[in-house]
Amino acid sequence: MRWQKQIQKFAAVGLALTLALAGAGCTDAQKNTETNTKQVPSGEKVKVHTFLQAQADFAREIGQDKVEVQTMLPLGTNVWQFAPTLKETRDLESADVYVTSGGGVMEKRWADQLMAQLKLKNKDLVIVDPAKGIEMKPLLRYINPDDPEGAKQERQDPYDYLDPVHAKTEVDNILAGLSKKAPAYAEEFKKNADAYKQKLDALDQKYKDAISKAKRKELVSPYPAYQYLAARYGLKYYVPTYIALNDFPQDQPDKIAEVQKDLATHDVKTIFFEMEAAPRVQEFVGGLGYKSGILNTYEGRLDKEVGYKSYLQMMEENLQRLEQGLNE
């Protein structure tokens, strides 16, 4: 009996080692497949898909005329409610590079199913996490009225790109992905990226200069997108949860006094919203004696028909609005 138990023991150990080696072999094979990704030859354009508009603009700046870029998220859509259509999924099946939101946070509700499909139908797709190497902060507020349970889950904040310094890191990550897929253009891509990062440095300096001279040093917004921006330039940041895009205390008169008392504890005269904030919400804020400011989060797809603006143009406009609001 003891002899039989020893045989069983050695057999189990041998099986475990075999499985481990087999697993290691699979990992090596997967690594080789990733390393030997089918490349875009010289003379052809790299098909780049991004989830957000910001990373699309970064890819265009790096790739110039060597890339075709498409943004998945439609303009004016709540990122936390969006899910790709069949067409958008099929478009990804023919893409060369896909750039996620920071950490892939915004796609988590549907990403697993999509990625499983892409592994079967587009094995050579290069997937880029633009926020790789950035210390992500916790998301301060999850806005999806269709998913109340989701608000209880912890998430990372994917709006790192609104900080020009982090934007440089995103550019480097996208550069690496494009160069991997199209090494024939790698030198040109790097040259373009380096020139663009100099512009981001100049933008960073403009923010430093303007905000350092601002009268007020606090940013209040019900939209949780400006945490990295505030941290970069020494602003306190507060996200009131009682104001949303289409839900506000005016619908609950008994809470208005409580809102006034809370806002009075903050050194602000302007409450900042993102582009899709309902006018009635801004009117409510005005009724409390505060002005409304708009800060563009550069999320949804832009084209010439809706008035395309680059990341740099958008951030310049944001700075003007922020500077005005902080000096009220």
Domain membership flag for residue 155: yes
Query: What one-letter code names the amino acid at 210?
Result: A
Separation of alpha carbons 152 and 138, rounded Å: 13
| Residue span of the structural domain in which 88 resides | 46-200
Are residues 187 and 51 part of one domain?
yes
pLDDT, tens digit (0-9, with 9 covering 90-100), for 11-45: 443 333 333 333 333 333 333 334 457 999 999 99
pLDDT above 70: percentage of residues in the chain = 86
Q: Are 75 and 314 in contact (CB under 8 A)?
A: no
In tens, the pLDDT along 112-147 reads 888 888 888 999 999 999 999 999 999 999 988 788
- Domain shared by 153 and 235, yes or no: no
Instruction: Verify that 281 and 315 share a domain, yes or no.
Output: yes
307: CATH: 3.40.50.1980
| 190 lies in the same domain as 152 | yes
Which residue stretches of the chain are H helix? 2-35, 53-63, 86-92, 111-121, 164-181, 186-212, 227-232, 256-263, 279-287, 311-326
Phi, psi angle pair for 244, to nearest 5°: -125, -175
| The pLDDT of residue 244 | 64
Q: What global pTM score does this model have?
A: 0.86
3-state secondary structure of 234: coil
Do 175 and 53 have their domain in common?
yes
At 3, is the secondary structure helix, strand, or coil? helix
Q: Give the number of domains in the chain.
A: 2
Does 102 share its domain with 221?
no
Q: Mean pLDDT in the chain?
A: 86
pLDDT at 254: 76
Is 168 among the domain residues? yes
* Residues 111, 224 within the same domain: no
Using left for φ > 0, alpha for ψ between -120 and 50, and beta otherwise, residue 101 falls in: beta
Least confident span in 159-173, 196-210, 286-300: 286-300
Q: 40 in a domain, yes or no?
A: no
Residue 289 located in a structural domain? yes
Residues 187 and 261 in one domain: no
- Same domain, residue pair 50 and 196: yes
Q: Is residue 2 part of a domain?
A: no
Q: What is the C-alpha separation between 242 and 222, in angstroms, rounded? A: 8
Q: For residue 210, how far is the Cα from the chain centroid? A: 25
pLDDT of residue 251: 66
Q: How far is CA 238 from CA 123, 129, 266, in A?
A: 43, 28, 9
